[in-house]
Copies of this chain bind each other. A is one copy, B any other.
Amino acid sequence: MKQAKSNGRSERRDAAENRQRILDVAFTLFELQGVEDVSMNQIAAEAQIGSGTLYRRYHNKSELCMDLIKDSKELLFEDIEVYQEENAARPPAERLRGLLALFIKFKEKNAQLLAGIENSFSSGAQSRTESPLYIELHELVVRLFEEMAAQNGDPQPDSVFRTDMLLTALSSNSYLFQKNMRGLSPESILEQLCQTFI
């Protein structure tokens, strides 16, 4: 994990220790009290560092959550890739459904952190749509939509737009609303999404 900075010197040892401590503390605290109810201050205090140090590494809680979820995210994309390869023969619509199913499973497993990511984007800054998770997923989905459009000679419904809508529908806000207010199960959400967008 050394040479973290792509240019210049490698990360200082004490800095690396602090980073690890932050991650550990955050993980534990999130587990214990829920992401929403843990403040950056609390994390800093518990990790025995100044809040400035914490903010130096993570500009906001979002970024911290992203770092915490990185491994799961990589697993997700591996799963997706395997699935896509194993089902390369099947029609793209079906492969898209498979991808969505995997993503929904991922959402269920990381609901808290994902909600934390979306709710804690600091004011004027970036949004959900600029996170690597969004961008990478977007790419994959667009490709599938374009494959679908190529098969039937339809007057190309803009794949990028359609993908944005589909992923917006899977944002924590929208997804949790469907679960909690409309009472839909993950399975029926998947079903409805396919019916609406595919």
Binding site for B on A (CB under 8 A): 36, 123-124, 127-129, 157-158, 160-162, 164-165, 168-169, 173-174, 177-178, 181-182, 184, 192, 195-197
Contact = CB atoms under 8 A, between A and B. Distances in A.
Contact of A196 (B123, B162, B181): B162
Copies of this chain in the oligomer: 2
Contacts of A192: 158, 161
B161 A182 contact: yes
A168 B164 CA distance: 11
Which secondary structure characterizes the binding site on chain A? helix
A197 to B, nearest CB: 7
Nearest to A160: B182
Specify which of A127, A161, A173 lies most central, judged by the most chain B CB atoms within 10 Å of its CB. Answer: A161
A174 B178 contact: no
A161 B123 CA distance: 30
Contacts of A160: 182
The 6 closest A-B pairs by CB, nearest first: A161-B192, A168-B174, A157-B195, A165-B169, A129-B177, A162-B196
Contact of A161 (B124, B158, B196): B196
Given A36-B123, A129-B181, A164 B158 contact: no
A173 B127 contact: yes
A74 to B, nearest CB: 26
Contacts of A123: 36
Specify which of A127, A168, A178 lies most central, judged by the most chain B CB atoms within 10 Å of its CB. Answer: A168
Nearest to A176: B127
A174 B164 CA distance: 8
A158 B195 contact: yes
